[in-house]
Structure 1
Amino acid sequence: MSNTYFKFKQFIIHQEHCAMKVCTDACIQGAFTAQHLALHGHAVKRVLDIGAGTGLLSLMVAQQHAADITAVELDPGAALQSRENFASSPWAERLHLKEADIRTLPAEDQFDFIITNPPFYESALKSGDAKKDQAMHATNLSYAALLEVIAAHLSRAGAFSVLLPYVEFEQFKLLAERAGFHLRRVLRVRQSARHTAWFRAVGIFEWTPGAVLPEDLVIYDEQNVYTLPFIDLLKDYYFKL
C-alpha cells in the first residue's frame, strides 16, 4: 500500500484528498457487513453510508450486493475523493455521493440498511489538526446525535452496521439500546494472537429484538502472518492475500 491508494482486486481506492486513510479496521467492517448483506440482505434495496470518507465501505458493499447506495460526506476533500472513486469503479451507476451534513438529509428519505464508521473518540485529546480531528473525534456528530440520524433514516425493518474501538462500542451499545435498537451480530477483533484484549468491534443493530450472534476475529497469528479467518473474510477484496 502506498500513501495515495489502496489496491483491491476490482478497484483502487485513491485517498490523496482525505485526512484519514484507508485502514484494516474499515476493511474488516466493509467485508463483514457486505458478507452479512449477501446472506441476509435480500430485501435491502437502498443503503446509506454516513461519513463516506474515501467511499471504501460503499464500494465494498457494492461489490457484494446489488443495492442502490447513497454516501454522505461533509468534508469537501473526502467528498471529492469518494466521487472520484465511485466514478472509476465497476458500480458507478449504483453509487451516489452527497456532499452535505447528514443532519440536513430529509427525514422522509428512508433506507433499508445504514453503514457508518463514525469518529472514534468523543472525549480523547485532539491532535490540533482540524481535518484529522474531525475524522477521528466526534466533533460534529456525537454518538447520541448519530443514533438520532440513524433512527430518522432507517426503515422499521432495517438494520445498521457500526465500527468502533471495543471500549467505545460498549458505551455506544447502551446508547443504541436506549434509542430502541438491538444488537444482533457483533464481530470482536484482536490485533494478533499475542494480544489478549479486543481492540475493535463491528456491530449489526436492528429495531427487532433477538438473540445476539457473537463472532471473533484475530488479524495476525503468532508468526505475525494473517490468520486464515482474516484471509477468508478479505480475500475477495485484497489484491494480495
Structure 2
Amino acid sequence: MLKPFKFKQFSIQQDKTAMKVGTDGVLLGSWVEINSTIFNVLDIGSGTGLIALMLAQRSNAEVIDAIELNDEAYEQTVENFENSEWSDRLFCYHASFQEFVTEIDDKYELIVSNPPFYTSTYKELSEERAMARHSQSLKYNELLEGTAKLISEKGSCAFIIPYTEETNFIDLAMQHKLYLNRITKVKGTVNSPIKRSLMQFSFSPNQLEESELTIELERHNYTQEYIDLVKDFYLKM
C-alpha cells in the first residue's frame, strides 16, 4: 500500500487515485493570495484534496468546498478531509464542474484550480490518469465561464497552467471579464525554460503584479524563494 504523503499539519492518502501529490498543487496552494476576511473557497478538481487542505491551513474561511468527478479521487478527497483537523470546514461534491455550475446558487470569494491539461505522454498514461490530466475533460473556456458565474463580485480565482497556454488562457479569461491581477512564471532551474504560470484574476482591472520563481539551483538544492513559499507545508523545508 502506498504510504501517505505527510505535510506539517496534515497527511494525504493517495493510494486510490491516479493523481498523486505534485509540485503544481503545492505551488498553487502556497502562492494564491487570500483575503484575511474570506468566508468561502471552492477547489475545482480536488484530486486528493491537497489544495483545499492547504487553504484550510492558510485561512479562516468557514466553508471550503471541492468538486471531484472521478469516483476514486472523490473517495480519496473525502477520506483526507475527514482525517484532517479542519474536517468541519471541508466538503467535497461528487459531480462534474459543468453540473455543479448549473445547480449551485452560492458565490465564492476564492476559486482555485489546478486544471487538467495535455501532456506529451498522454497515450502512455493509464486511462484514469490521462482523463485527470487531459484538457478534453474540462476545457479552459468551460472552466473560466463557470468560474466567472461562481465568484463573488469582489472575489478572485487562481490557476496553475502550462506556460505555453498562458496567452490563450488570459485571452479566454478576458472574454469573461476576468482581469489578470497577479502572475508568477515558474522555472525548474535557473537555466531551464519557464514551465508553469501561476495566475490570479478578478473582475477588477488592478495593477498587475508580475514575478518569476525558480524552484531549484540544482537537484534537491532549492532556492530561498521557493523554500519561503512552501516552508509551512513540506516537512523538510
TM-score range for the pair, normalised by the shorter chain length: over 0.9
CA distance in 2 between partners of 1:26 and 1:86 (Å)? 16
CA distance in 2 between partners of 1:97 and 1:222 (Å)? 38
**Structure-1 residue corresponding to 2:80:** 85
**Structure-2 residue corresponding to 1:180:** 177
**How far off is 1:222 after superposition?**
4.1
CA distance in 2 between partners of 1:61 and 1:116 (Å)? 12
* SS of match in other structure, 1:237: coil
**Structure-2 residue corresponding to 1:109:** 106
**Structure-1 residue corresponding to 2:57:** 63
5+ residue gaps, structure 2 = none
**Structure-1 residue corresponding to 2:18:** 19
Alignment of 1:3-14 (within 5 A): 3-14=2-13
Identity of aligned residues (%): 37
Contact in 2 for aligned 1:191/1:219 (Cα 8 Å): yes
**Structure-1 residue corresponding to 2:29:** 30
Q: Could you tell me the TM-score, scaled by structure 2's length?
A: 0.93
Aligned partner of 2:235: which letter?
Answer: F
**How far off is 1:132 after superposition?**
1.1
Q: Establish whether residue 98 from structure 1 lines up as the match of residue 98 from structure 2.
A: no
Aligned partner of 1:88: which letter?
Answer: N
Which of 131, 147, 150 in structure 1 is aligned with 2:128?
131
Query: Cα 1:173–1:111, aligned 2, differ >3 Å: closer, same or farther?
Result: same
CA distance in 2 between partners of 1:224 and 1:151 (Å)? 39
**Structure-2 residue corresponding to 1:167:** 164
1:141-161 C-alpha deviation (Å, 9 max, x unpaired)? 100111111012111111001
**How far off is 1:114 after superposition?**
0.2
Aligned partner of 1:130: which letter?
Answer: E
CA distance in 2 between partners of 1:12 and 1:124 (Å)? 29
Contact in 2 for aligned 1:121/1:138 (Cα 8 Å): yes
Aligned partner of 1:156: which letter?
Answer: E
CA distance in 2 between partners of 1:204 and 1:221 (Å)? 26
CA distance in 2 between partners of 1:114 and 1:123 (Å)? 28
**Structure-2 residue corresponding to 1:150:** 147
Contact in 2 for aligned 1:194/1:222 (Cα 8 Å): no
Query: Cα 1:123–1:191, aligned 2, differ >3 Å: closer, same or farther?
Result: closer
Contact in 2 for aligned 1:124/1:137 (Cα 8 Å): no
Aligned partner of 1:215: which letter?
Answer: S
* SS of match in other structure, 1:81: helix
5+ residue gaps, structure 1 = none
CA distance in 1 between partners of 2:15 and 2:120 (Å)? 28
Alignment of 1:160-239 (within 5 A): 160-195=157-192, 197-222=193-218, 224-239=220-235
- The alignment covers a number of residue pairs equal to 234
Q: Could you tell me the TM-score, scaled by structure 1's length?
A: 0.92
Runs of 4+ in 1 over 4 A off after TM superposition: 122-125
**Structure-1 residue corresponding to 2:118:** 121
